[in-house]
A and B are shown apart, each in its own frame.
Chain A
Amino acid sequence: QKEVEQNSGPLSVPEGAIASLNCTYSDRGSQSFFWYRQYSGKSPELIMFIYSNGDKEDGRFTAQLNKASQYVSLLIRDSQPSDSATYLCAAPNAGNMLTFGGGTRLMVKP
């Protein structure tokens, strides 16, 4: 089992809606997670880091970590067509290397 799992999508939402992207992880000891955004043909760029249980907000982005259920979510409010991209979840593994999920492709339709 991959340490970090994501639904590959595509997840399609209308412009202005809330997009909800989920990531599950297998290591109960994991405490910190990164969300990267990757536009088609481009490199990943960091958009959020979350360390503790609960929510972390940054502009239109909210990351939610639920350690009991072993999932982390990224919510994008007021989705825009420019948010269309693949979103990668990552967590440090036992060797302190970042392990990435397969990514979820988000499509925001005007």
Chain B
Amino acid sequence: NAGVTQTPKFQVLKTGQSMTLQCAQDMNHNSMYWYRQDPGMGLRLIYYSASEGTTDKGEVPNGYNVSRLNKREFSLRLESAAPSQTSVYFCASSEGQRFFSGANVLTFGAGSRLTVL
């Protein structure tokens, strides 16, 4: 029962390098999300995919791109990494987006710690 799986768990990049964070969920969830977490800032939404075939910007999308490869997989790409992108990245999924009623909850992956030098 894997839930949400993220790879890699740790990565060190030099400024200007590119990389892709991979995320896969096995819960047959429709919606997937990428958050970043910085000290004292809580979790901030980068991009989300409400359903297979759609992606939308969140609160802090600049410098990132995403791909919803299929229902299971949602990747986050940094085309030209910057030190400001040093953070812990969490992928999450939910069955739907009816958060107001509590009908849906976010399930998080273990996180990917990225350092950009």
Chain A: residues with CB nearer than 8 A to chain B? 4, 6, 8, 31-32, 34, 42-46, 49, 51, 88, 90, 92, 96-103
**Quick one: CB contact mask for B34-50 with A, threshold 8 Å, 1 for yes?**
01000011111100100
User: Bound state CA distance, A96 and B56, in angstroms?
Assistant: 13
Interface size on B, residues (CB 8 A): 23
Known A44-B108, A97-B48; judge A8-B40 contact (CB<8 A).
yes
| Shortest distance from the beta carbon of B112 to any chain A beta carbon, whole Å | 11
Residue of A45, A51, A102 near B102 (CB, 8 A) is: A51
25 chain-A/chain-B pairs, Cβ below 8 angstroms: A8-B40, A32-B101, A34-B99, A42-B110, A42-B111, A43-B108, A43-B109, A43-B111, A45-B108, A49-B102, A51-B101, A51-B102, A88-B42, A88-B43, A92-B99, A96-B98, A96-B100, A97-B97, A98-B45, A99-B45, A99-B59, A100-B43, A102-B40, A102-B41, A103-B40
**Quick one: CB contact mask for B85-100 with A, threshold 8 Å, 1 for yes?**
0000010000001111
Interfacial chain A residues near B90, Cβ < 8 Å: 43-44
Chain B: residues with CB nearer than 8 A to chain A? 35, 40-45, 48, 58-59, 90, 97-102, 105-106, 108-111
Interfacial chain B residues near A42, Cβ < 8 Å: 110-111
User: Bound state CA distance, A19 and B98, in angstroms?
Assistant: 30
Interfacial chain A residues near B45, Cβ < 8 Å: 97-99
User: Bound state CA distance, A102 and B41, in angstroms?
Assistant: 5
| Shortest distance from the beta carbon of A5 to any chain B beta carbon, whole Å | 10
